[in-house]
Amino acid sequence: MFRVTQPRSFATLRMTNKVLQMILVQKYGGSSVANIKKVKNVARRVVAAKRKGNQVVVVVSAPGDTTDELIDLAGKISKLPNRREMDMLLSTGEQMSVALLAMAIHELGEDAVSMTGYQVGIITDEVHGAAKIEDIDARRMKAELAKGKIVIVAGFQGKTANHEITTLGRGGSDLTAVALASVLKAKVCEIYTDVDGVYNADPRIVSNARKLPVISYDEMMEMASLGAKVMQSRSVEVGKKYDVPILVRNSMNNAEGTLITKENKKMEKVLVSGITLNEDEAKVTILKVPDKPGIAAKVFSKIAEGNINIDMIIQNKSTTNYTDISFTVFRSDLKRALPVIRKAAEAVKARGIQVDDNIAKVSLVGVGMKSHSGVAGKMFSALAEKGINIEMISTSEIKISCVVDGRRGKEAVRAIHKKFELGKKK
Ligand code: ASP
Ligand code: MG
């Protein structure tokens, strides 16, 4: 390593010292480290951030589709692989990335050390495959930073108090990054991905979708869970809880990105922040259920016992003595869910069940909705004008979701986006 040291005045020295105390956490997703060329690109960016006077902690995901490939491998051996061994397997993807990135940084003349979640001391509960972080030991990271090193941490993994390796659920590297930023009191947590930031609709669906300069935690959480695949929703929740500013940026350019932060008055002036599409759910209707107290309780506790997550639920008071109950489940759960739902239907003497696995959920998100009326009506008109039928509706303080025919989901997104004039101004 070769560096030129220049004499500095006291003033700049003092300034540098101050800047040096700033910790920056950067996270690079799988697509940003998918091959060696990209790993080298990340190394250059990390080194640049360090040379600007930051103490840098980098979190990386497994390269490209590695995690999916590992899951496939396990699937070739067992239909239901042991969850502990699954974590042992999946955690290797991230371990590959951290080592390669450390080497690439060394080649650029900076000191870096890679660490697994285990080595850092990211302590989780014992739920393999979906572990929750309970505690993070910041000591080793801080010691390495103090030695002038760049610290590279494997995302998505931790260990239990009993020294078992765990993983945090898909997309969990975001969570690692936000949690580290929180314990290290970083000035910002930068999430690097393959898009320029958070858009007000998926640019692959709406060609003139606009990138948002800023969005609130709550809106981002809704958008993440409603199908905008930019960030893992739990990580945004943690960011909100611990007040970590999160900046989503593109690892391949210098675009400004989207800042996820606390809600402010200015945001409320914006009526709609985003439109999302979720095509991963299916609708189930339990037909002709006796309309009397306790029935819904019975149905849904049976379904919950089967560990099946329900999203939207609709039931109306009937004029006869019977009613239908409709709800949505993840399509990936459907196979597993159907026998359980059938049993629940039998238990309440319903006539039967009906399944529609070709639905789409279109949602509109915006904190501005809290202080403005007429948003729902306008959304429904956009759909009506296209002759798109609404099958289910659900709302929260900052969100309206409609279930429509699966074949018309994308069209619905475009129609709503246009109605609210959310496109780029040309
Ligand atoms: N590699 C893990 C996954 O693909 C974690 C992550 O990418 O954040 O889910
Ligand atoms: Mg990944």
Domain layout of the chain by residue ranges: 3-194
Q: Which of 312, 289, 308, 303 is nearest to 343 (CA)?
A: 303
CB atoms under 10 Å from CB of 272, counted, come to 24
What does the pLDDT read at residue 18? 46
DSSP states of 137-166 as a string? --HHHHHHHHTTPEEEEETTEEE-TTS-EE
Structure tokens at 290: 């006796």
Helix residue ranges per DSSP H, 21-65: 36-51
What residue has token string 């958008």?
223
For residue 21, what pLDDT is reported? 58
Ligand 1 atom at minimal distance to the Cα of residue 232: 8
103: left (phi over 0), alpha (psi -120 to 50) or beta: alpha
Measured over the CA atoms of residue 260, residue 261, residue 265 and residue 268, the dihedral's sign is positive
Instruction: Assess whether the C-beta atom of 117 lies below 6 angstroms from ligand 1.
Output: no
> Distance (Å, rounded) from C-alpha 335 to C-alpha 342?
12
- Per residue of the chain (426 residues), give pLDDT as tens: 444 444 444 444 444 444 445 999 999 999 999 999 999 999 999 999 999 999 999 999 999 999 999 999 999 999 999 999 999 999 999 999 999 999 999 999 999 999 999 999 999 999 999 999 999 999 999 999 999 999 999 999 999 999 999 999 999 999 999 999 999 999 999 999 989 999 999 999 999 999 999 999 999 999 988 877 789 999 999 999 999 999 999 999 999 999 999 998 888 778 899 999 999 999 999 999 998 899 999 999 999 998 888 989 998 887 888 999 999 999 989 999 999 999 999 999 999 999 999 999 999 999 988 888 899 999 999 999 999 999 999 999 999 999 999 999 999 999 999 999 999 876
Q: What spacing in Å lies between the alpha carbon of 170 and ligand 1's midpoint?
A: 5
Instruction: Provide the 8-state DSSP code for 389.
Output: P
User: What is the Å distance from ligand 1's center to 30 Cα?
Assistant: 7
Give the fold, CATH level 3, of 3-194. Answer: Carbamate kinase (3.40.1160)
Q: Which pair of tokens denotes residue 1?
A: 């390593």
C-alpha 288 – ligand 2 centre gap (Å)? 43
Which of 150, 154, 151 lies closest to 122, judged by CA?
Answer: 154
Using the mean position of ligand 2's atoms as its centre, give its distance from the Cα of residue 103 in Å: 21
Query: Do 303 and 310 touch, CB atoms closer than 8 A?
Result: yes
Distance 29 CA to ligand 1 centre (A): 8
What is the 15 CA–ligand 2 centroid distance (Å)?
38
pLDDT of 226: 81
Q: What is the residue type of 271? A: L
Tell me which of 122, 165, 170 to substitute to probe ligand 1's pocket, judged by most ligand atoms within 8 Å of the beta carbon. Answer: 170
Residue pair 361/277 in contact (Cβ under 8 Å)? The answer is: yes
Pick the residue whose CA is nearest to atom 9 on ligand 1.
Answer: 170
Which atom of ligand 1 is nearest to 176's Cα?
8
235 lines ligand 1 (CB under 6 A): no
**Looking at residue 227, what is its pLDDT?**
74
Q: Could you tell me which residues come within 8 angstroms of residue 229 by beta carbon, excluding any fewer than 6 positions away?
A: none
Cα–Cα distance for residue pair 327/392, rounded to 1 Å: 9
Distance 126 CA to ligand 2 centre (A): 22
CB 67 near ligand 1, within 6 Å: yes
pLDDT of residue 6: 41
User: With a 6 A CB cut-off, is 155 part of the ligand 1 pocket?
Assistant: yes
> Using a 6 Å cutoff on CB, does residue 156 contact ligand 1?
yes
Query: Is 62 touching ligand 1 by the criterion CB < 6 Å?
Result: yes
State which of 28, 92, 97, 173 you would mutate to test the pocket of ligand 1, scoring each by most atoms of that ligand within 8 A of its C-beta. Answer: 173
| Tokens matching residue 205 | 């669906």
∠235-84-34 over CA atoms, to 5°?
55
Confidence at residue 8, expressed as pLDDT on a 0 to 100 scale: 44
- Residue owning the nearest CA to atom 6 of ligand 1: 171
Distance 269 CA to ligand 2 centre (A): 35
Atom of ligand 1 nearest to the CA of 168: 5
Instruction: Give yes or no for residue 170 CB within 6 A of ligand 1.
Output: yes
> What residues does 150 pair with on adjacent strands?
112
Note the pLDDT of residue 97: 98
